[in-house]
A and B are shown apart, each in its own frame.
Chain A
């Protein structure tokens, strides 16, 4: 499946169906991330049931400690 992840075109294996699958595949760790699909915010509890589709634009923003 072709996706745009953080503004980069990427092809991921077809068995990746949900946001949770994608975050696991990309090894994006859970507690500190903001996820949007096509601009829409996806809240953490919805990651396992949120299905991603061909050409979706996904933003996974990793927050960094320090302040």
Chain B
């Protein structure tokens, strides 16, 4: 695993939007990580997005997820579609209300440039990452791991292992005393979006990808 040094690219927003409009991102899971990451990417002009999640919105989700009280009970992907299209009605968005398993992951995410792992449960995160890296060894997978509780901003980091990037503190597991709540989940979901942006601009520009590695 390698620690990533951020490089702040200087690019006009119109240029960013123009590059992103041609890019495609897959998001596995539409909870705290996935819904907030999606909103950030859509706000900056991502053109194509694929989101898969099986779940429905519960009241307890509203402490961190990009949904509203009047959407409780709806499938998350349906509500997220409504919310994202309010940001950009021209977004090319594919949603599926399905449980992701090793057998269907290749089909859902065949055409994306990179994949965001945004599940809740650790074994599901591992399953998705393992499947994605086996099917597409060179395609970036941006995972979130360790985001429960509050405070301790400095422990949030990105580590890299080949094409796998992990955002979070890699320590704090969700529990009664360490709930996943908006501020820290939001930071990690936006670390994922920020890294996705960085990688997508980099994939489409002459800057060497080596510049990401410390």
A residues adjacent to B (C-beta < 8 A): 6-7, 31-34, 36, 39, 41, 43-44, 59, 61-67
Docked complex Cα distance between A32 and B134 (Å): 16
Set B137, B148, B169: member contacting A41, Cβ < 8 A: B137
- Assuming A6-B1, A41-B137, A59-B1, is B120 touching A65 (CB within 8 A)? yes
| A65:B1 contact, CB within 8 angstroms | no
Closest residue of chain A to B145 (Cβ to Cβ) is A64
| B161:A67 contact, CB within 8 angstroms | no
B57 at interface, CB cutoff 8 A = no
Distance from B25 Cβ to chain A, minimum over Cβ atoms (Å): 17
Docked complex Cα distance between A10 and B7 (Å): 32
Please name 18 further chain A to chain B contacts, defined as beta carbons within 8 Å, in addition to the given A63-B125, A67-B118, sorted by A numbering.
Answer: A6-B1, A31-B126, A32-B123, A34-B133, A36-B161, A36-B162, A39-B162, A43-B130, A62-B122, A62-B170, A63-B143, A64-B145, A65-B122, A66-B173, A66-B174, A67-B29, A67-B119, A67-B144
For A43, list chain B residues within 8 Å (CB). 130, 134
Distance from B55 Cβ to chain A, minimum over Cβ atoms (Å): 11
For A62, list chain B residues within 8 Å (CB). 122, 170
| A65:B162 contact, CB within 8 angstroms | no
Docked complex Cα distance between A52 and B151 (Å): 40
B residues adjacent to A (C-beta < 8 A): 1-2, 29, 31-34, 118-123, 125-126, 129-130, 133-134, 137, 143-148, 161-162, 164, 166, 168-174, 180, 185
Docked complex Cα distance between A41 and B33 (Å): 25
For B125, list chain A residues within 8 Å (CB). 32, 63, 65, 67
Distance from B149 Cβ to chain A, minimum over Cβ atoms (Å): 9
Docked complex Cα distance between A59 and B7 (Å): 25
Distance from B48 Cβ to chain A, minimum over Cβ atoms (Å): 23
Docked complex Cα distance between A41 and B125 (Å): 15
| B148:A7 contact, CB within 8 angstroms | no
For B148, list chain A residues within 8 Å (CB). 64, 66
Distance from B153 Cβ to chain A, minimum over Cβ atoms (Å): 16
Supply 6 A–B pairs (Cβ within 8 Å), ascending by A.
Answer: A6-B1, A36-B161, A41-B133, A63-B122, A64-B172, A65-B120
Closest residue of chain B to A33 (Cβ to Cβ) is B126
Set A33, A34, A66, A67: member contacting B164, Cβ < 8 A: A34
| B130:A66 contact, CB within 8 angstroms | no
Docked complex Cα distance between A35 and B174 (Å): 23
Distance from A44 Cβ to chain B, minimum over Cβ atoms (Å): 7
| A61:B166 contact, CB within 8 angstroms | yes
Docked complex Cα distance between A59 and B164 (Å): 12
Distance from A47 Cβ to chain B, minimum over Cβ atoms (Å): 12
